Structure 1
Amino acid sequence: MGCDRNCGLIAGAVIGAVLALLGGILMPVGDMLIEKTIKKEVVLEEGTIAFKNWVKTGTEVYRQFWIFDVQNAQEVVANSSKIKVKQRGPYTYRVRYLAKENITHDTENHLVSFVQPNGAIFEPSLSVGTEDDTMTVLNLAVAYNNTVDGVYSVFSGKDNVSQVAIIDTYKGKKNLSYWPSYCDMINGTDAASFPPFVEKTRVLRFFSSDICRSIYAVFGAEINLKGIPVYRFVLPSMAFASPLQNPDNHCFCTEKVISNNCTSYGVLDIGKCKEGKPVYISLPHFLHASPDIGEPIEGLSPNEDEHTTYLDVEPITGFTLRFAKRLQINILVKPAKKIEALKNLKRNYIVPILWLNETGTIGDEKAAQFRKQVTGKINLLGLVEIILLTVGVVMFVAFMISYCACRSKGKR
């Protein structure tokens, strides 16, 4: 009986050791399998999860406009007084509902080319008024409907997954021809996705044709989005800083008179890529801009929560599952003797025209599918690993203690 009991205890300890060993082995093996699967599915080629969602996003994207209605136009023209504005909005449009077009594959160089059609459908239920509302603003065409953006050529990631979705050329060029030096480079992706296995220390670089430049976002927080853990990356204030604060921005400084010898910050002159129009881009309500920029304007109230741009990125796949792109369009107004309305002005103004908020969040159905295909499997595998390791260790220790106790008792 003593031998049988001891043998049973040894068998239990062996089983525990095997379970613990399986759990330990499953960790690196499981991680390797996950990595292999992810690397396969994020490649931009027919049949992958990434390609299906890349061609036509299942996320509903809305672009909301708030227009700055000038309240004292005549007073400004006559006396160069501060411009009083009143924000009116939102006026909401559904956008990015059209699939990418003219998709071509360059298998030799592992590139995919496409154009992105721009469509916009007015959403009255999400707007404060109609498209026929009237208000006083400077004359500027700001709605880009029934046009296309591109051609973009991006890396498929087939030969190197760390390059997936990164832009190789835009409109056939690797540079923009707008800025001097490295500011003219086209960096990163289009922000819809990034190469997989995103770490918090990574700087996410992306190109936006809206602002005619490449920009970047840094880690801000961990967030749970519909049961999916995501990293929130935000545009830092240093991206819009003056060259005195951020020397890397020296080549974005184009108008030394308006920017006070490049000491002002928070606005970007994009006139060169807007057919010479005096267009300036900023964050809404001049968030993160120097005080002198907003000083001539009354009625602004910058707010970090409402006016910051962010991307919520699922770190394993690199897919952007929620985003809010916020920017403001402004016009430079200067005294002009030959223009009746401007001849009495005695100062320069950067006048806010409107600000927009383009948002998109993964839908409930897509989120459930994502949890099932990605995070659910990873979590299940992790749970199995922990259970095997924990149960194995506990069994091994318990049975070995019992065996040693029995041996000690038998010797007495």
Structure 2
Amino acid sequence: MGCDRNCGLITGAVIGAVLAVFGGILMPVGDMLIQKTIKKEVVLEEGTIAFKNWVKTGTEIYRQFWIFDVQNPQEVMMNSSNIQVKQRGPYTYRVRFLAKENITQDPKDNTVSFLQPNGAIFEPSLSVGTEADNFTVLNLAVAAASHIYPNPFVQVVLNSLINKSKSSMFQVRTLRELLWGYTDPFLSLAPYPVSTRVGMFYPYNNTADGVYKVFNGKDSISKVAIIDTYKGKRSIYAVFESDVNLKGIPVYRFVLPSKAFASPVQNPDNHCFCTEKIISKNCTSYGVLDISKCKEGKPVYISLPHFLYASPDVSETIDGLNPNEEEHRTYLDIEPITGFTLQFAKRLQVNLLVKPSNKIQVLKRLKRNYIVPILWLNETGTIGDEKAKMFRSQVTGKINLLGLIEMILLSVGVVMFVAFMISYCACRSKTIK
């Protein structure tokens, strides 16, 4: 009788130990099996689910624009006053709906390169007005002229053309013209061959953006679709901020840090953005990046909206800006298991540098330099409800279920082992007495 009872207790303890060991083994083994299954489908190569959805995304991506409407153009030109701006927007377009082109795998560094065809469809229901809305903005051609042609004699010629075309430092343009291009009257009078079309994103439709080079995830799925280079140059990085719950899916939020826009004094990695053309105060100013070399010498500078994270001197000539992190920072929400970006908001401001010019009449009264904000944009995309549901069931749900099974086996096994061993020891003690 005592033997039967003791044997039963030992058997129960052994079963508990087996369950606990099985639960413990299932953790790394189960995770490894899930990782193997997921990795097979999330790498960016022909035949995987991820590749099919990546080539032509099913998620609707929108680009919102806010235009800085200048309120006091005459005061600025006559008295070199601060430029007063009023933000108007959003004006929304659907973008990135065309399939990627020229997709090329590079097995040496586990990357894939591609071009992204450009296309934009105006979305009236998501906009505050129409593409015919008018704005008073900086004259793009006039502002760029003195930078592209610094020779005094050439500027005298340019001045006569500017006056003849009745152009000024500021102009009134529709949204469509400002974004996608218009024929500039000043450039149309140029006596030598020159492109007369001007626009913040001209040309756009029927063109392609890139070359992008992204990681395909073969060596690490955590790097899937992360940009390695853009047009062969260094890409801006993001840092982890917090855990976020996105439609029931745990994701990691990464944000563009202020350090990415710091001066070379604060961040030596940014030394290449301090050029002779930028008004950099001996490279101590920060918050704007000079991309004029990418824009055929045009004095174009990018920043975060409303000069977020910029030094005070950058915005001292502009009134009407109100930077705040919640509205103006860039972030990405990445699912850590698959490496997929399930939500993002890419925010960017486009500015032009304007300098005084003794030879160009409409710029002659300026007594200082201006970094003039033209517009800022927010390109955003979020996983849809149906895809989120599918993701939860196919990935998150399975992982949670496996984790639950692991914990149940481990907990039940440990409890059984401890309980039966205590009972066995108690019974042995009574038998000895």
Contact 1:58 1:366 in 2 (8 A): no
How far has the Cα of 1:265 moved from its partner? Answer: 0.7
Give per-residue Cα distances to partners, 1:204-247, cap 9 Å, x unaligned: xxxxxxxxxx1111111111111111111111111111112112
Residue 137 of structure 2 aligns to a residue whose secondary structure is coil
Give 1:159 shift: 6.2
Partners of 1:352 and 1:111 in 2: CA distance: 36
SS of the residue aligned with 1:395? helix
> Which residue pairs with 1:297 in the alignment?
318
Match of 2:66 in 1: 66
CA distance in 2, matches of 1:43, 1:359: 23
**Number of the residue aligned with 2:286:** 265
Partner of 2:188: none
Task: Describe the superposition over 1:124-168 as per-residue Cα deviations: whole angstroms up to 9, x where unpaired.
Answer: 111110000001002341233332112445454446767754667
1-structure distance, mates of 2:230, 2:350: 23
Give the length in aligned residue pairs: 373
Say whether residues 1:145 and 2:166 are aligned partners: no
Residue in 2 aligned with 1:202? none
Equivalent runs, 1:223-372 vs 2, <5 Å: 223-255=244-276, 258-372=279-393
Distance 2:279 2:32 in 1: 55
Matched with 2:420 is 399
Judging changes above 3 Å, is the alpha-carbon distance between structure 1 residues 82 and 162 closer, same or farther for their aligned structure 2 residues? closer
Q: TM-score, normalised on structure 2?
A: 0.81
Moved more, 103-112 or 241-250: 103-112
Question: Which amino acid in the other structure matches residue 259 of structure 2?
Answer: M
CA RMSD of aligned residues (A): 2.1
Q: Report the CA distance between 1:38 and its aligned residue.
A: 3.2
- Cα distance in structure 2, aligned partners of 1:163 and 1:230: 14
Query: Which residue identity does 1:283 align to in structure 2?
Result: L
Secondary structure of 2:138 counterpart: coil
What is the one-letter code of the residue matched to 2:276? E
CA contact (8 A) 1:334 1:342 kept: yes
Provide closer, same or farther for how the CA distance between residues 98 and 374 of structure 1 changes in structure 2, counting only shifts above 3 A. same
Q: Structure 1: which amino acid aligns with 2:9?
A: L
- 1:257-277 CA deviation, whole Å, 9 max, x = no partner? 611111111011111101211
Match of 2:399 in 1: 378
Instruction: Supply the distance in 2 between the matched residues of 1:241 and 1:159 (Cα, whole angstroms).
Output: 32
| Deviation of 1:34 (Å) | 2.6
**Structure 2 CA distance for aligned equivalents of residues 88 and 304 of structure 1:** 19
Q: Is the Cα–Cα contact under 8 Å of residues 230 and 312 in structure 1 kept in the other structure?
A: yes
Percentage of matched positions with identical amino acids: 82
1:85 aligned residue: 85
Contiguous gaps of at least 5 residues in structure 1:
176-184, 187-213
In structure 2, the residue corresponding to 1:357 is in which secondary structure?
strand
Q: Contact conserved, 1:115 with 1:151, CA < 8 A, in 2?
A: yes
Question: What SS does the corresponding residue of 1:216 show, helix, strand or coil?
Answer: coil
CA distance in 2, matches of 1:45, 1:63: 28
User: Once the 2 structures are TM-superposed, how far is the Cα of residue 104 of structure 1 from its aligned partner?
Assistant: 4.3
Work out the CA distance in 1 between the residues paired with 2:228 and 2:382.
Answer: 27
SS at match of 2:99: coil
1:5 alignment partner in structure 2:
5
Paired amino acid for 1:15: I
Does the aligned pair in 2 maintain the 1:154–1:169 contact within 8 Å? yes
CA distance in 1, matches of 2:61, 2:221: 27
AA of the residue aligned to 1:74:
Q
Higher helix share: 2
